[in-house]
Amino acid sequence: MAAVLDTTVQIDRIFGSTDRKSRIRDMMANNECYSTQYVLGEYYATIVRDCTMIYSIVAQNDDIYEAEKKINEKAFGRSKDRAHKIFIFLRELFGNDMDYIKMHMESFFDLLIQKFYKGINKKLLSGSMCNRANARIEYIEGCPKLRNLNCRKTDNHCDISSLWKNNFSKIDQLKYDYNITERTKNALLQSSAINPPKGNACRTLGDCIICLETIDGNVDSVCTTNRDDFKPITDCLGLELIVPNYKK
């Protein structure tokens, strides 16, 4: 079976525990795996952006434990959890020698993207043509900055409008599902075939867009760790949901 790996699975298979990585490898061994342009955009907006923050802190500190404290102080919410995983991964690769870590930080960005593509079909499903997937690192006064990451409702540099319009009759039924969150329902109610989700609404309905890219790419299933949010969407669109079994 063919399966799309969403952002949560991509993050776990790179930064998760040995056990979680093993469970995902088992799943991947039994499926032809893909990812999507939108997932790559989310990966840039989360993992790669968090890494630019870590880079700045590492560059200004010579003590690894002080750097770790400052990462914990600067990151908030989900970003704090991701930043912690990234820093552990850095130390697994390069040890606790801060000079050695600093030496390899620039190449680490390339490694993050290589890890994203490892083991999956290199051709991303691109029904959304998400512009955030075109984000690039630019160094300003020695500090990495992500460019092409922000999208506004007035921008027209992706194909999410066409993807949404072509599948609106299917996705519109989701607003009647009592299992979706209030935030998702409100975003769906505000969208239409001629008013597709863009800007903040696009990010709110990101799980829906990943599923629509899956259908558009003629793939049968989506693999995610986020069962609760994806189950109503995959049921609505007739996709199979694969959730790695972390409880074994």
What is the distance between the alpha carbons of residues 174 and 232, in angstroms, rounded to a whole number?
A: 7
Phi, psi (5° rounding) for residue 196? Answer: -70, 160
The rounded Cα 154 to chain-centroid distance in angstroms is: 23
User: Which of 16-20, 59-63, 93-97, 198-202 is predicted least confidently?
Assistant: 198-202
List the domain boundaries for the chain. Answer: 2-151+218-242
- Amino acid 104: pLDDT: 92
Cα dihedral 60/65/69/72 (nearest 10): 100
Residues in the chain: 248
Encode pLDDT of 102-155 as tens digits.
999 989 999 999 999 999 999 999 999 999 999 999 998 888 999 988 888 888
Tokens of 125: 């499903």
Instruction: Output the average pLDDT for the chain.
Output: 94
Residue type at 25 in one-letter notation: R
